[in-house]
Amino acid sequence: MASTVGARSAKPMYLQIADDIEEQIKSDRLAPGEEIPSEAALMERYGVSSGTVRKAVAELRTAGLVVTYQGKGSFVKSRPPVTRKSSDRFRRSHRRAGKAAYIAETEQAGVKPTVQVLSIGPVPAPQEIADRLGVEEGAKVLARRRLYFSDGTPTEEATSYLPWDVARDIPELFEENPGGGGIYARLEDHGHEFAEYTETIRARIATKQEATALRLSPGSPVIHLTRNAVTTTGRVVEVCDTIMAADQFVLDYRIPATD
């Protein structure tokens, strides 16, 4: 495979090299999981310095096309099955069938979902969470923090916050496995009938902590989704704060036409 990059081109060398490799990835000449040429090989092939090939590889990382490991090399990112999160995942019928929302949503993606509970216990409510729950900032709330995996890859980190006066009456909420249908089923078992769920969506670049938790390259985008679970009395009995790897999810919503 000869280099087709000319020194006379107006485009910077590092972009030309990145484009070449991107083209190979897009045309499957470099398959997902396959290693791209090492820095030394690229330096020789394109006749440029180490700094220039590093900048090219950094471009590919920024574009989300490769992932790099020190001492190993750079690999084409595999494109995982995408999970669609639709409104249907909160149907009571799923819960009655023993399925928590995350089970319902990953089933159609054909991936094996697992969940790792990171912590369960009382915390002081951060400002935004307190506002949403209608409690004082710093008030005691129950936090359930967990990491979701699809086919062994971490895709989502989520923390549910529940008002203490609601949580303390439901012992399953303090267990790693809250039982069939998840915590929403347990809340319903205790008389909290849901009227609606509101979701707030933001997107940004992952923080260092998030990138580590979700095994993302620095600079990767994440979706930040915050959900209120609202009962028929208008009370918010759970706020779920979620960070998701953006390339792993598609969110679907339906908005009825109203006057």
- List of residues contacting a copy of itself (CB under 8 A): 51, 62-64, 87, 90-93, 193-205, 218-219, 221-223, 246-247, 249-259
Contact of 82 with 151, CB cutoff 8 Å = no
Q: Nearer to DNA by C-beta: 69 or 253?
A: 69
**Residue 58: closest CA among 36, 78, 26:** 36
**If we measure between CA atoms, which residue out of 198, 181, 178, 179 comes closest to residue 255?**
198
Nearer to DNA, 74 or 220 (CB): 74
- Looking at the Cβ atoms of 37 and 56, the one nearer to a copy of itself is 56
Pick from DNA, a copy of itself, none: which does 179 bind, CB < 5 to 8 A by kind?
none
The dihedral of CA 246, 211, 126, 163: what is its sign? positive
Q: Which helix (H) or strand (E) holds 206?
A: none
Q: How far is the CB of 194 from DNA (least distance, A)?
A: 45
CB 166 to a copy of itself: min, Å: 17
Q: Which of DNA, a copy of itself, none has residue 29 at its interface (CB below 5 to 8 Å by kind)?
A: none
69 touches, from a copy of itself, DNA, none (C-beta below 5 to 8 Å by class) = DNA
| Distance in Å, CB of 20 to DNA, minimum | 13
Q: How far is the CB of 48 from DNA (least distance, A)?
A: 4
Token code pair at residue 255: 């908005």
Which residues sit at the interface with DNA, rule CB under 7 A? 12-15, 38-41, 47-52, 54-55, 68-74
Comparing CA positions, the residue from 111, 121, 119, 47 lying closest to residue 80 is 111
Is the CA virtual torsion 134, 140, 144, 147 positive or negative?
A: positive
Which of DNA, a copy of itself, none interacts with 14 (beta carbon under 5 to 8 A by kind)? Answer: DNA
Kindly state the smallest distance separating residue 60's Cβ from DNA, in Å: 11
Sign of CA dihedral 129, 123, 244, 147: negative
Q: Round to whole Å and give the CA distance between 72 and 242.
A: 32
